[in-house]
């Protein structure tokens, strides 16, 4: 490896950086709007003190809708994670938990609904 390759490797992201964030996908019931957020698995987590089975960490987030359709609402998501920072359990208030594929489907529906309501701009 020459000097230039060594310098470039210092500035390239490491493979572990992908596992630093947990992306959360929700569907807000009131506005029927999909919402996503990222949780930093090294800075946002707290030790779990609830005694949930298999949980070592806990995080609570409040997510807001965009207001694109003049509908404003929030969702609370609580997530319990194990010692390897994998989701053990989750609870969503005012919406439902989605996986990445379901989120993409809901986003397509939402964007179509917004385009239809604005006259297709």
Closest CA relative to residue 48, chosen from 25, 92, 79, 86: 79
Q: Which is more confidently placed, 119 or 37?
A: 37
More confident position, 56 or 16 = 56
Q: Look at residue 44 in the predicted model and tell me its pLDDT.
A: 95
In the prediction, which pLDDT does 18 show?
A: 66
Q: Which residues of 95-104 are buried (b: 16+ CB within 10 A; e: fewer)?
A: bebbeeeebe
% of the chain exceeding 70 in pLDDT: 88
pLDDT above 70: residue 55: yes
Q: Tell me the pLDDT band of 17, cut-offs 50, 70 and 90.
A: low
Per residue in 29-45, is it b (16+ CB within 10 Å) or e — as a string? eebebbbebebebeeeb
Q: Which residue bears the tokens 């020459």?
A: 2
Q: What is the pLDDT of residue 16?
A: 56
């Amino acid at each position: 490896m020459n000097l230039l390759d060594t310098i470039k490797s210092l500035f390239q992201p490491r493979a572990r950086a992908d596992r630093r964030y947990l992306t959360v996908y929700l569907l807000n019931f009131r506005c029927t709007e999909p919402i996503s957020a990222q949780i930093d698995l090294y800075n946002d987590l707290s030790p779990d003190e609830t005694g949930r089975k298999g949980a070592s960490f806990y995080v609570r987030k409040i997510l807001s809708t965009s207001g694109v359709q003049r509908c404003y609402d929030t969702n609370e998501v609580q997530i319990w994670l194990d010692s390897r920072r994998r989701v053990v359990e989750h609870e969503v208030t005012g919406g439902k938990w989605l996986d990445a594929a379901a989120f993409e489907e809901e986003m397509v529906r939402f964007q179509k609904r917004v385009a239809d309501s604005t006259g297709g701009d």
